[in-house]
Structure 1
Amino acid sequence: MKTLRVGMISFAHGHAFSYFNHLAQSPEVSIIGIAEEDRNRVAAIVEQHSIPYYANYQDLLAQDIDAVIICSENVHHAKLVFAAAQAKKHVLCEKPLGTTMEEMEAMIAACKENGVQLMTAFPCRYLAAVVRAKEAIDRGDIGDIVAIKGTNHGGNPGGWFINKDLSGGGAVLDHTVHVMDLMNWFLQSKVKEVYAYGATLFREELEVEDAGMVHVKFENGVFAVLDTSWSRPKSFPTWGDVTMEIVGTKGVISVDGFAQKNDLYRNSLGKGVYSFWGDDMDAYMMRDFVKALLHNEQVPVTGEDGLKATEVALLAYESIKRGQPVAL
């Protein structure tokens, strides 16, 4: 059986551990090595799984591998994708794809020039509720879409996420892209205008915003609003949510991406706990990435998809700065 030889670069983003676990369980994948400047981040899994460790990502890229998974701080995505492309390695890059339009366009171009594929990590496309909604929309069950109201709330992730020099932005950048990608996927229409609000409402000492509202108009006439924030307190059972109300001419679809759960309440923990029993979106995303590369197929979520979703967040910052709508 043919296997995909994969390397992982940086575990700065917590999603890397989930991706690693799914890759390690796949009979179609061989994890060749992990590159991470901070060895403490990966010491446990390197030792447990006897995987070669590299302090320098260039040393990993020099190995006989087919693809890399990049989960670094946001501002390092571009340089790591450039390096991987030049080494002729396919790439799955954590969201947001980049922090500027120029670097994202250059990342996409570099991968194309070197004959490798670039996939953006948007696992929310694999949530059961999202998949069923997409199928219903494509069947025309609710007629033509008129408007979408979405949310991506969460708790403040702390760490490098609240350091603008490493993250590139706060909640607006962090939490716009997932649901914006879903809206783009559903509508297949270009964004023509963005109007946004952003502020620091929950932790005044932050240098980045922890709350935002992003309003979007599409070329096909649909308008959307997205509540993107780090508004959930420490006592909240989970990191956040992904919800949408999709209003059509013949009906409405309500999407709650993480509703497949049991609620557990324990005094010893001081808060409720969500016990999620639904399909694992990360597992499906990693499966499709591996499958596409092994069979020489197009990856299902491209670098262009990552750019289009991130562009809305960047335009939101411009709108916040100007205090008025920004047109493309």
Structure 2
Amino acid sequence: MNARPQVLRVGILSFAHPHAISYAGVLAARPDVHVRATDPGVHASGEVRGAELAAQLGVEYADDVDQLLSWQPHAVIVTSENVRHREHVERVAAAGAHVLCEKPLATSEPDARAIVAACERADVVLMTAYPVRFAPEFVRLLEVVRAGELGRILSVNGTNNGKIPLGERSWFTDASLSGGGSLVDHVVHVADLLDELFEAQPADRVHAVVNRTLHAVRPGIDVETGGLVSVRYLNGATAVIDCSWSHPDSAPNWGGLTLEVVGSRGIARIDPFAKHVGGFGPSGAVRHDFGADMDASMLAEFLAAVREGRSARPDGRAGLRSLQVVLAAQASVQSGGPITLDQVEELGRIAL
């Protein structure tokens, strides 16, 4: 893996995921990065996408993926619909560009493994986009846990709740593009924090329940809108993850994530999205966030890895492990009870 020059050509492949807008803003503000985007696929009527959105964001635009790759980018951020990650990552890696792939890494384990293998063959960086790992609150939590201040970790309670993604990003509620609903959208973030907290300790047993009670009156939603997932790890710790699209449309922010870690000697709680000033204005509730920009910190790690010719964390294998928790949760829903990861293959959900 060769080190790259200080001024990097970075591509953004698709505006399908709303995180692409934040990433474009962060990158466009950096003098050491030259940004160019492309936005393949069919866009819903009324969506501001493609060249129009690129112009609004102040980044250059390529008409298609071939044109983007002919620019010979050093790195590409893949922010397409979940089901298209494999196709796009394989093309980018084959072109010799490093990859930051939006979560979840894929919608199936074979696709996720193919993504990892493609990047390893091409000797390029593969990083999975989990910005909450870079929240100062989580970094401090890791320090406390690693120092043994909480003793042996017994259990973790995690929440990742937000608005239902509709309107210009309604593909999130189309299982053929997203792979699932709130279970897929929100479990992976907490599963990744647990993966880091437990130093890649494998999950052992997963039990999940889901429903469509939330937003039941909305037409055209064929995925779960609420869920609860319990996970037992090989180190004996258990975790519970609330993964619902429970924030109302009128909420001033998209949602939030919390983590409570219970140990034999103490308890620690973090709320990385709590830093804000809130109130009410002429149009209703308002919110202004402040503090560390997690997206900027994550992108800084990715760009540093590209420049230095080293791996980045969280890497593709971390993305694979968090996806396995989601797929096991889907298998549990299908079976109607708890399931061990070595049973998942028998149910035909993933091939371990």
TM-score bucket of the superposed structures, by smaller chain: over 0.9
Partner of 1:253: 268
Q: 2:22 aligns with which of 9, 14, 18?
A: 18
CA drift at 1:30: 1.6
Per the TM alignment, residue 44 of structure 1 is displaced from its structure 2 partner at its CA by 4.2
Alignment match of 1:81 (pick from 89, 92, 104): 89
Aligned to 1:241: 256
| Equivalent position of 1:90 in the other structure | 98
Q: CA shift at 1:111, angstroms?
A: 0.6
> What does the per-residue CA deviation read over 1:67-121, in whole Å, with 9 as the maximum and x for residues that have no partner?
1011111111110001111111110011111000000001100110111111100
- Which residue is equivalent to 2:120? 112
1:264 aligns with 2:279: yes
8 Å CA contact 1:35–1:55 kept in 2: the answer is yes
In the alignment, which residue of structure 2 is the partner of 1:182? 193
Rounded to whole Å, the distance in 1 between the matches of 2:242 and 2:55 is 41
2:74: which partner in 1?
66
Residue type at the aligned position of 1:6: V
Structure 1 match to 2:346: none
Check whether the contact 2:28–2:58 (CA below 8 A) recurs between aligned residues.
Answer: no
Please point out which of 214, 219, 243 is paired with 2:229: 214
Provide the residue aligned with 2:178 in structure 1. 167
CA positional deviation for 1:42 = 3.9
**Residue 149 of structure 1 corresponds to which residue in structure 2?**
157
Check whether the contact 2:21–2:57 (CA below 8 A) recurs between aligned residues: no
Residue in 1 that maps onto 2:347: none
For the residues of structure 1 that align with 2:55 and 2:275, how far apart are their CA atoms? Answer: 34
Distance apart, 1:228 and its partner CA: 0.3
Q: Is the 8 A contact 1:3 1:294 kept in 2?
A: no
Q: Aligned partners of 1:297 and 1:151: how far apart in 2? A: 32
> In structure 2, how many angstroms separate the alpha carbons of the residues matched to 1:326 and 1:14?
33
**1:264 is paired with a residue of what secondary structure?**
strand
Residue 50 of structure 1 deviates from its aligned partner by 6.6
The structural deviation recorded for 1:140 is 1.2
1:289 to 283, 302, 322: 302
Distance 1:50 1:117 in 2: 26
> Counterpart in 2 of 1:308?
321
After superposition, what is the alpha-carbon deviation per residue over 1:204-240, rounded to whole angstroms, capped at 9, x for unaligned? 2420000000000000000000000101111222111
Identity over aligned pairs, percent: 39
Aligned counterpart for 1:202 among listed residues 205, 214, 219 = 214
Measure the CA separation in 2 of the matches of 1:67 and 1:4: 8
Question: How far apart are 1:138 and its partner, in Å?
Answer: 1.0
Please, what is the CA RMSD of the aligned residues?
A: 1.5
Provide the C-alpha distance between the structure 2 equivalents of 1:50 and 1:150, rounded to a whole number of angstroms: 37
1:215-268 Cα offsets, whole Å, 9 max, x none, are 0000000000000010111122211111011001110001111111111222x2
Q: Which residue of 2 aligns with 1:130?
A: 138
Matched, 1:274 2:282: no
Report if the CA contact (8 A) 1:264-1:275 is conserved.
Answer: no
In the alignment, residue 4 of structure 1 is paired with which amino acid? L
How many Å apart are 1:48 and its aligned residue?
5.7
Q: What secondary structure does 1:105 align onto?
A: helix
Query: How far apart are the structure 1 equivalents of 2:79 and 2:320?
Result: 17
> Aligned equivalents of 2:60 and 2:155: distance in 1?
49
Is the 8 Å Cα contact of residues 25 and 57 (structure 2) preserved in structure 1? no
TM-score, structure 1 normalization:
0.95
Change (3 A) 1:138 1:160: same
Counterpart CA distance in 2 for 1:164 and 1:98 is 13
Check 1:213–1:34 CA distance in 2 against 1; reply closer, same or farther (3 A cut): same
Partners in 2 of 1:284 and 1:7 — Cα distance? 18
Shift of 1:298: 1.5
User: 1:45 offset after TM fit, Å?
Assistant: 5.2
1:36 aligns with one of 35, 39, 42: 39
Cα distance, 1:273 vs structure 2: 2.3
Deviation at 1:285, TM superposition (A): 0.5
- Give 1:177's aligned amino acid: V
The alpha-carbon deviation at position 277 of structure 1 amounts to: 0.9
Q: Report the alpha carbon displacement of residue 36 of structure 1 after superposing the two structures with TM.
A: 1.0
Alpha carbons 2:183, 2:227 under 8 Å: kept: yes
2: CA distance between counterparts of 1:144 and 1:265?
A: 44
Q: Secondary structure at the match of 1:113?
A: helix
What is the alpha-carbon distance in structure 2 between the residues aligned to residue 240 and residue 125 of structure 1? 17
Q: TM-score, normalised by structure 2?
A: 0.89
1:231 is paired with a residue whose SS is coil
